Copies of this chain bind each other. A is one copy, B any other.
Amino acid sequence: MFERPRPIGQLTAPDVDDFLGSLRAVFESRRLTNDGALVQQLEHRLAAFHDTRHCVALANAGIGITMLLQLFARGRRGEVIMPSFSYRGLPHFARWAGQEPRFCDVEEDSHALDPRTVEAAINSRTTAILAVCNCHSTGDIAGLCRAAERAGIPILFDSVDALGGTHRDRRLGGFGQAEVYSVHATKLLNGFEGGYITTNEDRLAALLRWQRNFCLAGFEPGGAGADEDLVLGVNAKLNEIHAAMALLSLDRLDETVNRNRARASAYRAMCDGLPGIQLVLSARGEALSNCARLVAELTLPWPLSRDQMVALLRAEGMPVAAYYHPLLHWSDALGDGPRQHLPVSEALARRFLQLPSGDLVSIGDIGSIGALLEFVAVNGGAIRSRLADAGVA
């Protein structure tokens, strides 16, 4: 159907002339990296945006999660509690920080960690809780923070998909010990690579700034035996070029969200006419999200399985993905323990897929996708048999 692929990332393009103009200034200043002027400006603007005391810009979001888990562990080898129904990188980040992942079940509606399963999983080896805010719901942030606080365990939020959202009327950014965001090209805010951490904790911010530049300067460790001696340094600096692009993207964030919501409305109108497929835009009365990522749920009487839908849309030029599959507690090859049973996650993992979204998908494209889905709804039986013959079930 599409010759040029219709992807699932935001992929906002900056105005190239504006961007190259910023870069010329960067090159003339000869300060390309290491806490340059644009990185500082980006950090100030994002701290204001999130209403937090600190924003620490980083090379990417994954290294941010890894750094926080390494700091929170304070030299111990323990466990990090995380959802199984989430992004494939999470267990890797925990292991780089010397920790084992401990997978917990999620809530049926928010797809986020269930505070009750988290409380049951906390034990003497737990070094951190890594919670994830999803594209349609922040989850029970307050409940998770209470569980963490009662146990005296640090909690961080991977809030990448919820950028700009609120929880109980408070802007995301300052929950838990820290929140982590991405400015990768596929994300709402586009620095084409990069990430950042928001926090209200002064000492944590200072440690992160020290850690992101190899622990070389800017922090005085307390001497032998002090906690800071356990910090591992890394090259996780953001440079001026990514900061320049993220600043331009931040200038236009509202416009980007408006375009995303227009796409979401077009998809919603399309799904309204089709039985068994619906867009998942919010949970339990939460406000509409930034709509950078659009997830559809398939239920009966939709004629094709989720995996069949992924195969079909890919064949038509839409590199869509299951949301989320495989579950981390299935695929996490390094785990030694017996395979857990996480009933809610296992049910969720079969019925969602991401639809083409972001700035390479026009409203007209969504019309074409709607026509295709209508064709599937009508001719589902025949398509299902052909897919099954081709080995796609």
Taking Cβ atoms with an 8 Å cutoff, the residues of A that contact B are 11, 13-14, 16, 19-20, 23-24, 27-28, 30, 32-33, 59-60, 62-63, 75, 88-89, 92, 95-96, 98, 185, 192-193, 214-216, 221, 224, 229-230, 232-235, 237, 239, 241, 333-334, 360
Interface on chain A toward B: helix, strand, loop, or mixed SS?
Answer: loop
* In the bound complex, CA of A20 to CA of B24 (Å): 8
Are the CB atoms of B230 and A334 closer together than 8 Å?
yes
Residue of B nearest to A32 (CB): B192
Task: Pick the residue among B19, B32, B96, B237 that contacts A96 (CB under 8 A).
Answer: B96
With known contacts A16-B24, A20-B23, A32–B235 Cβ distance under 8 A = no
Contacts of A32 in B (CB 8 A): 185, 192-193
Are the CB atoms of A235 and B33 closer together than 8 Å?
no
The minimal Cβ–Cβ distance linking A183 to chain B, given in whole angstroms, is 12
Are the CB atoms of A33 and B193 closer together than 8 Å?
yes
Are the CB atoms of A88 and B232 closer together than 8 Å?
no
* In the bound complex, CA of A185 to CA of B30 (Å): 10
Are the CB atoms of A11 and B30 closer together than 8 Å?
yes
Indicate how many identical chains form the complex: 2
The minimal Cβ–Cβ distance linking A231 to chain B, given in whole angstroms, is 9
Q: Which 5 A-B pairs have the closest CB atoms?
A: A229-B333, A32-B192, A60-B235, A92-B233, A62-B235
Contacts of A27 in B (CB 8 A): 13-14, 16, 19
* In the bound complex, CA of A235 to CA of B221 (Å): 29
Contacts of A192 in B (CB 8 A): 32-33, 239, 241
Task: Pick the residue among B11, B63, B237 that contacts A235 (CB under 8 A).
Answer: B63
The minimal Cβ–Cβ distance linking A233 to chain B, given in whole angstroms, is 5
Are the CB atoms of A89 and B30 closer together than 8 Å?
no
Contacts of A59 in B (CB 8 A): 59, 235
The minimal Cβ–Cβ distance linking A205 to chain B, given in whole angstroms, is 20
Contacts of A30 in B (CB 8 A): 11, 13, 360
7 additional A-B residue pairs with CB within 8 Å, beyond A88-B233, A192-B241: A13-B27, A20-B20, A20-B24, A32-B185, A75-B334, A192-B239, A229-B333
The minimal Cβ–Cβ distance linking A154 to chain B, given in whole angstroms, is 20
Contacts of A230 in B (CB 8 A): 333-334
Contacts of A215 in B (CB 8 A): 88, 92
* In the bound complex, CA of A1 to CA of B11 (Å): 49
Are the CB atoms of A333 and B89 closer together than 8 Å?
no
The minimal Cβ–Cβ distance linking A113 to chain B, given in whole angstroms, is 22
Are the CB atoms of B96 and A232 closer together than 8 Å?
yes
Contacts of A216 in B (CB 8 A): 88
Are the CB atoms of A333 and B221 closer together than 8 Å?
yes
Residue of B nearest to A91 (CB): B232
* In the bound complex, CA of A241 to CA of B26 (Å): 14
Are the CB atoms of B23 and A232 closer together than 8 Å?
no
Are the CB atoms of B89 and A214 closer together than 8 Å?
yes
Residue of B nearest to A4 (CB): B30
Residue of B nearest to A62 (CB): B235
Are the CB atoms of A95 and B232 closer together than 8 Å?
yes
The minimal Cβ–Cβ distance linking A323 to chain B, given in whole angstroms, is 15
* In the bound complex, CA of A334 to CA of B227 (Å): 10
* In the bound complex, CA of A62 to CA of B30 (Å): 23
Are the CB atoms of A96 and B234 closer together than 8 Å?
yes
Are the CB atoms of B20 and A224 closer together than 8 Å?
no
Contacts of A235 in B (CB 8 A): 59-60, 62-63, 89
Task: Pick the residue among B60, B98, B224 that contacts A333 (CB under 8 A).
Answer: B224
* In the bound complex, CA of A214 to CA of B95 (Å): 13
Q: List 10 A-B contacts (CB under 8 A).
A: A14-B27, A19-B27, A20-B20, A62-B234, A88-B214, A88-B216, A95-B232, A96-B232, A192-B241, A193-B237
